[in-house]
Structure 1
Amino acid sequence: MKLKHAKRTLFNLVGIFLIASTATNVWANQLNTPEHIEVLTINNEKQSWYLFQDSRAIELPLGVVKLEVRYKDLIEDDNDDTHQTITSSKITMTFETRPNEVYQLKAKRPETEKEARQFAKKPVITIHSSAGVVEELNPVYIPTANVVVETPKSEPPTNDVSAKMLRYWWSQADETTKAEFIREISETKSR
């Protein structure tokens, strides 16, 4: 009698495990990203990304998904052996996921610094599923005045830590923040 009860309990536990794992798989969608495309947010939730990270897989929720992505790559300078980190403006992609789909962000990877700067001005990033190109609900491109180059070659060399920090934070700021900063500096000078 006890053996029969133990077998039934084991059978029930295995059944529950199988149902739970199947249910998890039904709701799990995966987004694969190449190393030169950075996923900034998924449904306004910040994502982590590292410059030397290989392609990666991210879990997506079922239903409408809003991604903010951008091109970001370390490119060898065309004129010497240095490297430039070139970053585009962000692109918002909104689409609807289906159960058990694997999605892939795709973008041609520039090979030269010139190509990278050109691509960063208006990157073309698409999302695909096993059925092909995914139809976006509201594709939005958010342009900025210029491409962010984190280590521009035209900068004069300096050992001043403050100047380096100022240049870094300037490259991270959006156009509105930059305009506000310039306005404040102008007001300070006129006093």
Structure 2
Amino acid sequence: MKSTVTASALFALLSSSSVFAANLNIPMSFEYLAVDGQEVETNNFTHKANLPLTEGEHKIAVRYSDMYEDDISDSPNFATSSPLIVTLNVSGDHQYLLAPKSDVIDPKGYAKAPEIVITRKDGGNVHYSVTHTQLKETSLVSKLFGNDNGVNLDEATAAVTADKAIPSAPAQKATAVETMTAPAPANTADSSAHAKQMLQYWWMNADEATRKEFMSWAIKQL
């Protein structure tokens, strides 16, 4: 009698929807940011392609990020989109596949307004919607030059997928670079754009040792 109860309990456990979860797969050119109010843990060395999902509706934040070669400098650059919020209704133990709507010929152009489709591996119907956000991530350059309008992207996407208010951009603070620079001209936007271009120019022409030294200094200014 005891063995029968144990076997029945095991069968019920293995048959539950919590064990047999669905799965969402994304290509190398996309990355997970958050799901249902929780940040998705990733790292710079491995690509997280699969996300297990239980039955029901889920809000998933992803973004497009792929490398392309600059025709002018012949050096690699990254094309990164603002986050997309995918609302996916999971029904059953199925594998869902996210992919660009068509082949990406121009990564930089695609990143401005990425279009995606979600299909099911078995060909079944998929109920989902996609919302494009305008969230901009805080960048090192923006922080250095004091015109940071970004947010902590992980926190912001977690808030959006949990249907909470989007965190506002952090307050500005003076940096060492700001202190050392001369007073800005009347056209602050042009001055900032020029400063960024100069920084990018010197970065692209610096050797590895100089880049590491600069990064060490820059991080201490944040």
Q: How high is the TM-score relative to the length of structure 2?
A: 0.56
Q: Structure 2 matches for 1:141-152, cutoff 5 A?
A: 141-143=132-134
Partner of 1:134: 126
Matched, 1:38 2:28: no
Matched, 1:125 2:103: no
Q: 1:177 aligns with which of 169, 182, 189?
A: 169
Deviations along 1:69-105, one digit per CA (max 9) or x if unpaired, are: 1101233334455322221011112131102121111
Partner of 1:28: 21
Identity of aligned residues (%): 21
CA distance in 1, matches of 2:150, 2:68: 19
Partner of 1:93: 86
Partner of 1:3: none
Partner of 2:197: none
RMSD of aligned alpha carbons: 3.7
Shift of 1:134: 2.5
Point out the structure with max Rg over C-alpha.
1
Residue identity matched to 1:75: Y
Residue identity matched to 1:131: G
Residue identity matched to 1:166: L
Q: Structure 2 matches for 1:2-21, cutoff 5 A?
A: 8-21=1-14
CA distance in 2, matches of 1:79, 1:30: 41
- Tell me if structure 2 keeps the 8 A contact 1:25–1:100: no
Secondary structure of 1:12's aligned partner: helix
Partner of 1:83: 76
CA distance in 1, matches of 2:64, 2:128: 18
Partner of 2:60: 67
Structure 2 spans left out of the alignment, 5+ residues? 153-167, 185-222
CA distance in 2, matches of 1:133, 1:117: 31
CA distance in 1, matches of 2:43, 2:70: 21
